[in-house]
Amino acid sequence: MIVVKFGGTSVGDAEAIERAAGIVKGRLDRQPAVVVSALGGATNALLAVGEQAAKGHLIGALRGVETIRSRHLTECENLLRGSEAADEIAADISASFDELASLAEALATLGHATPRSFDAIASFGEILSSQLVAAFFRLRDIPAEHIDARDVFVTDRNFTAAEPQIDEIAERAREVVQPVIQEGRVPVMGGFIGRTADGITTTLGRGGSDYSASLLGAALHADTIEIWTDVDGMLTGDPRVVKGARLIEQIRFDEASELASFGAKVLHPNTIAPAVRLGIPVFIYNSRNPGGNGTRITFDAPRRPVSAIAGKGGVTVVKVGAAKMLFARGFLRQVFEIFERNGVSVDVVATSEVSVSMTVDDATGIESLLVDLSALGDVSVERDLAIVAVVGAAISDSSSAMGRAIGALGDLQIHMVSLSASGINLTIIIDGDALNTAMERLHGEFFSDAEKKRK
Ligand code: ADP
Ligand code: ASP
Ligand code: MG
């Protein structure tokens, strides 16, 4: 069997869902299980309803509910007009938005929303898109069966970034999804959403439908996992930032994983882990260009000094200086224990003779971390920085790649440089407002047309 995942733009409207149906139809002999995101932009719109309600702005929240209701009803009409399913699905959609409106009223009365409420609100997007897509696929003679993803994706209670419970998911997938495939039908489920063991709706974090797809693929030992999106595959740089980003036809699991972690939004950072455990190849394709080559992510892609560039902003560097203690036994362990105790995860680490610098992605609530760290030495914090990552499996073997990367940044101030433990990712910390310039310069250095001719 294979897993076929469609992102938000790939199910954004009736035309896109029609293309998705064509893609799935062409794969029926490979026993596809389909995972879909919410209609493009729906999750943002839903979360905005939650935010309005939490501020006590009930009218704004209810207007938001009506806008999203109307969009879903329009797409329902475009997709299912005249069919028997149309009224039933329209009634389900409307009932869901009535429920959402009641939730918004309750939150507006409280003037407060918890992460748990935000998950409940966001989950409407994937619940509804998967129902719509399943109903439309049936109209196109695909024997689709809608499955509530929450019956399969068991998670912990870490709302808005819930941790999937791998063994339970595998068991549920065998119980709930496998029989559908074995009977020759096509399961269609929402990505991103899950449920705690005691039945409360959770989400896997923004962009999490990719992760759902790979969790399902691993649970069912899929032959491949296909991620259908709005670009031709994984590119050498973020196409929204760099000019001339090129398609990477094959890339290694470890490289793709690093790129996703350091800003290549095309894949959720956790997508690779379940696939790599079983060596299931992951493909990225463009749903607007279904005949394209796409990107194939496996163990055996060529080892290149530089495969791609990625970058992300909003980075904070925490530096702990302790002249004598740094290399005293147990010092770094104490530092990391403090991070763990405070629930803050470290991204990049660099040590010098007298200090250790660490980057954190989410600096909300690090105050108590800083207080704890100050017991170990002088603590300083730099905010509003960015990370650029130059990723290539053979970057450490190349005599020139690292030097070229640093050289290409020219006059940009560098705060920290680190080569990942796996030796495939050179990360450079720069000022936040220099992020796009840095990505353009690095991409130009390694992937410009002149560089292509030189190779
Ligand atoms: P989906 O809704 O299909 O999950 P996303 O918006 O999450 O799509 O991810 C696709 C987007 O990722 C692309 O439109 C592109 O702008 C962005 N992106 C950033 N870096 C890369 C990269 N290296 N390769 C391809 N796309 C990238
Ligand atoms: N709909 C969710 C989001 O926008 C999940 C996803 O699209 O992957 O974050
Ligand atoms: Mg995505």
Give residue 135's domain range.
2-230
Q: How confident is the model at residue 329 (pLDDT cuts 50, 70, 90)?
A: confident
- Tell whether ligand 1 has an atom less than 6 A from the beta carbon of residue 9: yes
> Nearest ligand, CA of residue 231?
1
Ligand nearest to the CA of residue 37, numbered in listed order: 2
Determine what percent of the chain is predicted with pLDDT higher than 90.
Answer: 87
Conformational region of residue 423, where left means phi above 0, alpha means psi within -120 to 50, and beta covers everything else: left
317 shares its domain with 217:
no
Task: For residues 191 and 194, give the distance between their C-alpha atoms in angstroms, rounded to a whole number.
Answer: 8
- Do 218 and 330 belong to one domain? no
Q: Please check whether residue 243 lies inside any domain of the structure.
A: no
177 phi-psi bin (left φ>0, alpha ψ -120 to 50, beta other): alpha
Does the beta carbon of 43 lie inside 6 Å of ligand 2?
yes
What CATH number is given to the structural domain containing 448?
3.30.2130.10
pLDDT at 398: 83
**Residue 287 forms part of a structural domain:** no
Report, in angstroms and rounded to the nearest whole number, the Rg of the chain calculated over CA atoms.
23
> In this structure, what CATH number is given to the domain that contains residue 15?
3.40.1160.10
Q: Does residue 7 register a pLDDT over 60?
A: yes
Q: Single out the residue in 203, 230, 257 at which a domain terminates.
A: 230
Q: Is residue 109 part of a domain?
A: yes
The reply to whether ligand 2 has any atom less than 6 angstroms from the CB of 191 is yes
- Do both 215 and 334 map to the same domain? no
Q: Which atom of ligand 1 is nearest the CA belonging to 8?
A: 2
Are 85 and 225 in the same domain? yes
pTM higher than the cut 0.85: yes
Tell me the two tokens of residue 363. 């600096």
| Rounded average pLDDT over 163-191 | 98
Chain centre to alpha carbon of residue 112 = 27
Place of tokens 């973020």: 238
- Distance from Cα 227 to the centre of ligand 1, integer Å: 11
Ligand 1 in reach of 38 Cβ (< 6 A): no
Using the 3D structure, point to which of 178, 206, 230 is the last residue of a domain.
Answer: 230
Residue 325 has pLDDT above 70, yes or no: no
Q: Are residues 348 and 209 in the same domain?
A: no
- Residue 328's contacts (CB-CB under 8 Å, 6 or more residues apart) are none
Q: Which of 10, 43, 133 to mutate to test the pocket of ligand 2 (most atoms within 8 A of CB)?
A: 43
Same domain, 347 and 219: no
Residue 266 Cα to ligand 1 midpoint, Å, equals 3
Q: What atom of ligand 2 comes closest to residue 208's alpha carbon?
A: 8
Residue 412 identity? L
225 and 313 share one domain: no
Q: Are residues 222 and 315 in the same domain?
A: no
Q: How many domains does the chain have?
A: 2
Indicate whether 201 belongs to any domain.
Answer: yes
User: What would the 3-class secondary structure string for 440-452 be?
Assistant: HHHHHHHHCHHHH
Q: Which of 179, 197, 230 is the last residue of a domain?
A: 230
To which residue do tokens 């992020």 refer?
435
Answer yes or no: are the C-beta atoms of 118 and 54 closer than 8 Å: no
Closest ligand 2 atom to 210 CA:
8
Backbone phi and psi for residue 416, each to the nearest 5 degrees, phi listed first: -165, 145
Exposed (0-12), middle (13-18) or buried (19+): which is 34, by Cβ within 10 Å?
Answer: buried
Residue 135 within a domain = yes
